[in-house]
Amino acid sequence: MSAQSETVGRVQVVTSHGAVEGTVAHGVERFLGVPYAAPPFGARRFAPPRPVEPWDGVRDATRHGATAPQSPYPGALGALLPTATVLGEDVLHVNVFTPADRGADLLPVVVWVHGGSLAHGSNALAGYDGTRFAQDGVVLVGVNYRLGAEGFSVLDGAPRNLGLADQLAALRWVQDEVAAFGGDPRRVTLAGQSAGGNTVSAILAHPSAPDLVARAIVQSGPLSAQPAARAGRITRAMGKDLGVPTTRAGFATVLPEALVASQDRVTAGATPLTGGPGFALVLDDDLVPRTPQDALVAGAGSTIPLLIGATTEEYRLWFVPTGLLGRFRWWHLAVARRKVGISARAVRLFRRNRPGATAGELLGALATDVLLRVPLQQVADARRSAGAETFVYEFAWRSPVQDLGAAHAVELGFVFDGLATTDSVALAGPDAPQSLATAMHGAWVAFATSGDPGWQRWDETRPVRVFDGEGDPVVLAPRDDERAALDAP
pLDDT tens-place string over residues 241-296: 999 999 999 999 999 999 999 999 998 877 776 667 899 999 999 999 999 999 99
Question: Does position 4 have pLDDT exceeding 50, yes or no?
Answer: no
Length, in residues, of the chain = 489
Q: Residues 6 or more apart from 229 whose CB is under 8 A from it?
A: none
Specify the pLDDT at position 273.
Answer: 66
What is the C-alpha R_g of the chain? 22
CA distance 292 to 295: 5
Specify the pLDDT at position 488.
Answer: 75
Specify the pLDDT at position 2.
Answer: 39
| CA nearest neighbour of 264 among 370, 376, 148 | 148
Longest Cα pair distance anywhere in the chain, in angstroms?
68
* Mean pLDDT confidence for 14-30: 97
Specify the pLDDT at position 103.
Answer: 86
CA distance 288 to 358: 38
Strands 18-25 and 9-15: antiparallel
Helices (H), 256-410: 256-266, 292-297, 316-319, 324-327, 330-340, 344-353, 359-368, 374-385
For 191-230, what is each residue's pLDDT tens digit?
Answer: 999 999 999 999 999 999 999 999 999 999 999 999 999 9
CA distance 179 to 195: 28
Greater confidence, 150 or 489?
150
How high is the mean pLDDT of the chain? Answer: 95
The 3-state DSSP class for residue 12 equals strand
Residue type, 2: S
> Could you tell me the sign of the dihedral formed by the alpha carbons of 47, 52, 55, 59, in that order?
positive
Catalytically annotated residue among 313, 314, 361, 394: 314
Question: Does position 90 have pLDDT exceeding 60, yes or no?
Answer: yes
Specify the pLDDT at position 275.
Answer: 65
Catalytically annotated residue among 2, 122, 194, 399: 194
CB 96 within 8 A of CB 34: yes
Write out the H or E segment, with its range, that includes residue 229.
Answer: helix 228-231
Specify the pLDDT at position 277.
Answer: 80
How much of the chain exceeds pLDDT 90, in percent?
93
- With vertex at residue 278, the alpha carbon angle to CA 273 and CA 280, rounded to the nearest 5 degrees, is 95
For 374-415, what is each residue's pLDDT tens digit?
Answer: 999 999 999 999 999 999 999 999 999 999 999 999 999 999
* Mean pLDDT confidence for 426-435: 98
Burial class (CB in 10 A: 0-12, 13-18, 19+), 135: middle
194 catalytic per annotation:
yes
CA distance 32 to 28: 13
114 catalytic per annotation:
no
Residue type, 428: A
**List of domains in the chain:** 9-487 (3.40.50.1820)
* Mean pLDDT confidence for 49-69: 97
Catalytically annotated residue among 114, 120, 408, 441: 408
CA distance 192 to 198: 8
CA distance 412 to 389: 24
CA distance 76 to 318: 9
314 catalytic per annotation:
yes
The end-to-end CA distance of the chain, in Å, is 59
Q: How many helices (H) and strands (E) does the chain have?
A: 21, 13
| pLDDT band at residue 3 under the 50/70/90 scheme | very low
Q: Secondary structure of 93-122 in the HEC alphabet?
A: EEEEEEECCCCCCCEEEEEEECCCCCCCCC
Helix 344-353 vs helix 480-487: crossing angle, to nearest 10? 170
Q: What are 474's strand-pairing partners?
A: 465
* DSSP 8-state code for residue 18: E
